[in-house]
Structure 1
């Protein structure tokens, strides 16, 4: 099965919108730019010859319970891009590849295995996906897109936050944006098969719920959850926290909010930032620095901010990747092993470009190296 043409063009429109470039004078100089290190996926690479992962995106890295890194990919195909040819092109999502190679190694990231595969062979999707049909909960579902992953050494359990996509081309006052039906959590106790829980953080009728795209980071007993709207829209970024062993209990989530005189936990969420955010990624590095990245959908740049803690003041944006380096870019997910020094920030960057005939010309993930 493949994405139908309407859905495909709708998602391309969302990517193109996110990559609109502001006037050059509004952008910082190129001296700040991160550098491309290597392309990680493609029909010409071993991701395809070993696991039939050719055209894909995202590559969200998180630490597994055994200490290595899992990489979560979104809509994945055994052809270079979503629309083929040939068709059908084995559409899957999410898919996980794994690696124990440090991204700072001379050769960059090298994948060594795939979830649900013993050795080489087709990497299947790791949880149920409705694929333009009825999803596991009886509701229409176009696809399931991962947002982030987290694991717990105490139990060996892994969790993935995801979006159930209702459509890729929901038209509203701000233009076309994809619409999620809800955000959810899936878990695995064997590192391969993920079970979607009944928990749902429902989107609203206006597609403006700010708790749809999650990124998660643990610090001690707490997991901090940063979230924004689906579809790379204008809106707020929210911050919540929950004890690591209470993630399945929505009533245990505490909001970070402003009461008119000070900030505090256990309140209705108040936006910590506002803007037009792409998919957020937040990681706490080993030196205690918190780093946030996302696509600024006004400038089309992947940017980062840093802070001393999740509920501290975040710095101004620093540009890491410009559209002229990687046209139609998105993602910019932070590798958790970044930060051995200030000049080692590893980012997973997706690229989806198309030609004048609207057919894709690139759909893959690359590794970039920037600085804090």
Structure 2
């Protein structure tokens, strides 16, 4: 999934000291604060969609090969010759490593045929004998020299790595053939469907579930139209996926593109095309946003055992739970993009991460899934990484599982068009006091509701360098 600009990346480490750390030390040693423009280089596969794709993005024809010259407007905004870089950060939030791409320690080109991808949606597989983190990725490029550039609409990785301080190793992926990971939710290749993108994942009773969206067309940066969103299920640890009949919510695109195995759509729900899942108290909570990056968040919940039954979903209306999604109240106001939600044992509260309207990665806290949610804490500022998007919490973060302070999350960037593992030290996040139920807000401590200052302005996070990502 892109909707703006992607890609490239370096080798950061396995179980050895990270070049990020070395770069930071070197930069500090010479007293240099390098805030440079991105280094010019080709993206993994500039033209997109590839030859034989469905088109419908931007204004160019389908081209193949990274040396091809667009005949009109580039297929996507990233096809402009810009390249990515690794942000070297010091302070509250730091870059751990580049997870995907030609020079990542995971060797995704050689092992999986992946030179460019994005998102990195994370959840636990729930298998006590073989616990793994599932990682769903969006639109994926492979060998740019081949016709079609090995474009796949989505990919799944699995990881059993719990030592996140020096990176996240990928165990394996569902494969199409040796050296090429398969698209787990293939697009239809019919006119009117550009791609199929995962937006959330969750495990219930040993079955993996993905909520995904069928994209009809890309619009202005950060805006797109969907045909529908639906659930898919896997009973074999993510190896194979089947759409769940009756779970489609139509958007403003064409309902005619809903495949036969999904059956009739359950409802039209344009405000519920993208999701984040949270398991809590026997329920699966589903945080919903419209397609794009400017919508507000509403909230649904369903008993875990009924996740496939769309008629069992209830929606938070501000005072209680009701069946009509049209009465759903806003729980987080616009503009929210690609959020994730988790319980934090460290904070003793629920947390959500997302990209806001200023293109910052922010965190909010809440005592209950429906809120009230706190003001925003900026974990990473657009001033440091202006091309960032997506923020998906790693379930095995010390700040999630225990009282440790380290919160790990994935992040993508337009220009690199790959996925990074990031870390924030929650010890450096200002404390917030939740007002009591009888507290008069005009005299209450405002630490709960206020947005805290940008750490790029206060110096709590410092960009010390931008490392150009070597060519593959």
User: What's the counterpart of residue 425 of structure 2?
Assistant: 371
Q: Report the alpha carbon displacement of residue 6 of structure 1 after superposing the two structures with TM.
A: 6.0
Q: Report the alpha carbon displacement of residue 289 of structure 1 after superposing the two structures with TM.
A: 2.5
User: 2:101 aligned with 1:101, yes or no?
Assistant: no
The number of equivalent residue pairs is 324
Q: Alpha carbons of 1:86 and 1:168: their partners in 2 closer, same or farther (altered >3 Å)?
A: same
Deviates more, 1:181-190 or 1:285-294: 285-294
User: 2:212 aligned with 1:162, yes or no?
Assistant: yes
Q: Is the 8 A contact 1:301 1:319 kept in 2?
A: yes
RMSD of Structure 2 on Structure 1 (CA)? 2.7
Normalized against structure 2, the TM-score is what? Answer: 0.64
Q: Is the 8 A contact 2:124 2:132 kept in 1?
A: yes
Normalized against structure 1, the TM-score is what? Answer: 0.80
Q: Secondary structure at the match of 1:280?
A: strand
Q: Distance in 2 between matches of 1:32 and 1:266?
A: 44
User: 2:406 aligned with 1:344, yes or no?
Assistant: yes
User: What's the counterpart of residue 299 of structure 2?
Assistant: 239
Unmatched 5+ stretches in structure 2: 1-46, 59-73, 79-88, 254-267, 427-472
Q: Report the alpha carbon displacement of residue 176 of structure 1 after superposing the two structures with TM.
A: 6.7
Which of these residues, 362, 367, 376, is aligned with residue 303 of structure 1?
A: 362
Q: Distance in 1 between matches of 2:297 and 2:75?
A: 24
Q: Distance in 1 between matches of 2:336 and 2:90?
A: 24
User: What's the counterpart of residue 323 of structure 1?
Assistant: 382
Q: Report the alpha carbon displacement of residue 286 of structure 1 after superposing the two structures with TM.
A: 4.4
Q: Which has the larger radius of gyration?
A: 2
Q: Secondary structure at the match of 1:146?
A: strand
Q: Secondary structure at the match of 1:113?
A: coil
Q: Report the alpha carbon displacement of residue 337 of structure 1 after superposing the two structures with TM.
A: 1.4
User: 2:299 aligned with 1:253, yes or no?
Assistant: no
User: What's the counterpart of residue 225 of structure 1?
Assistant: 286
Q: Alpha carbons of 1:41 and 1:31: their partners in 2 closer, same or farther (altered >3 Å)?
A: closer
Q: Distance in 2 between matches of 1:103 and 1:91?
A: 31
Q: Distance in 1 between matches of 2:199 and 2:313?
A: 18
Q: Distance in 2 between matches of 1:352 and 1:85?
A: 21
Q: Distance in 1 between matches of 2:314 and 2:75?
A: 35
Q: Is the 8 A contact 1:284 1:336 kept in 2?
A: no
Q: Alpha carbons of 1:33 and 1:12: their partners in 2 closer, same or farther (altered >3 Å)?
A: farther
Q: Is the 8 A contact 2:393 2:407 kept in 1?
A: yes
Q: Distance in 1 between matches of 2:137 and 2:366?
A: 28
Q: Distance in 2 between matches of 1:36 and 1:210?
A: 33
Which of these residues, 227, 248, 251, is aligned with residue 181 of structure 1?
A: 227
